[in-house]
Amino acid sequence: MTKSWKDRAEEVIMPLYPQKEICLERGEGCYLYDTNGKEYLDCAAGIAVSALGHGNTEYTKAAIDQLEKFIMCVGSYPTQPKVECAELLVNNSCFDQVFFCNSGAEAVEGCLKLARKWAHHNKSPDCKEIIAFDCSFHGRTYGAASCTYKALKQDYFAPYLPGVKFAKFNDLESVENLISDKTCAVIIEPVQGEGGIRPADKDFIKGLRALCDEHEIIMISDEIQAGMGRLGTLYAHEYFGIEPDLISIAKGMGAGFPIGAFLGKKKYTSAFAAGDHGTTYGGNPLGTRLVYETVKQINDPAFLKNVTETGEYLMDNLEKLKADTNSIEEVRGIGLMIGVDTAYKIGDVLGNLLDEGLIATQAGEKSLRLTPPLIFTKDHADEAVDKIGHVIRKEL
Side chain identity, residue 276? D
What average pLDDT does the chain have?
Answer: 97
The Cα 178–Cα 262 span in angstroms is: 26
Q: Architecture of 58-298 per CATH? A: 3-Layer(aba) Sandwich (3.40)
Enumerate the domain spans of the chain.
5-55+301-392, 58-298
Q: How far is CA 238 from CA 105, 224, 300, 308, in A?
A: 22, 14, 15, 13
pLDDT score, position 10? 95
Side chain identity, residue 96? D
Is residue 252 predicted with pLDDT exceeding 90? yes
The Cα 104–Cα 145 span in angstroms is: 12
CB neighbour class for 158 (10 Å; exposed up to 12, middle 13-18, buried from 19)? exposed
Q: Please give the average per-residue pLDDT across 16-35, as a whole number.
A: 96
Is residue 144 predicted with pLDDT exceeding 80? yes
Strands 97-101 vs 191-192: parallel, antiparallel or unpaired: unpaired
- Are 304 and 239 within 8 A, CB to CB? no
Which of 356, 364, 362, 361 is closest to 392 using CA atoms? 356
What's the pLDDT band for 396 if we cut at 50, 70, 90? low
pLDDT score, position 2? 81
pLDDT digits (tens, 9 = 90+) for 280-317: 999 999 999 999 999 999 999 999 999 999 999 999 99
Per CATH, 5-55+301-392 and 58-298 having the same topology is answered no
pLDDT score, position 1? 55
pLDDT digits (tens, 9 = 90+) for 368-377: 999 999 999 9
pLDDT digits (tens, 9 = 90+) for 187-230: 999 999 999 999 999 999 999 999 999 999 999 999 999 999 99
Percentage of the chain exceeding pLDDT 70: 99
The predicted model scores a pTM of: 0.97
Q: Please give the average per-residue pLDDT across 161-178, as a whole number.
A: 98
Which of 336, 396, 393, 338 is closest to 363 using CA atoms? 338
Strands 367-370 vs 337-342: parallel, antiparallel or unpaired: antiparallel
pLDDT score, position 395? 62
The Cα 396–Cα 196 span in angstroms is: 21
What's the pLDDT band for 29 if we cut at 50, 70, 90? very high
pLDDT score, position 394? 81
Q: Which fold has domain 5-55+301-392?
A: Aspartate Aminotransferase, domain 1 (3.90.1150)
The Cα 161–Cα 153 span in angstroms is: 15
Q: Is the peptide bond before 81 cis (omega within 30 degrees of 0)?
A: no
The Cα 318–Cα 102 span in angstroms is: 35
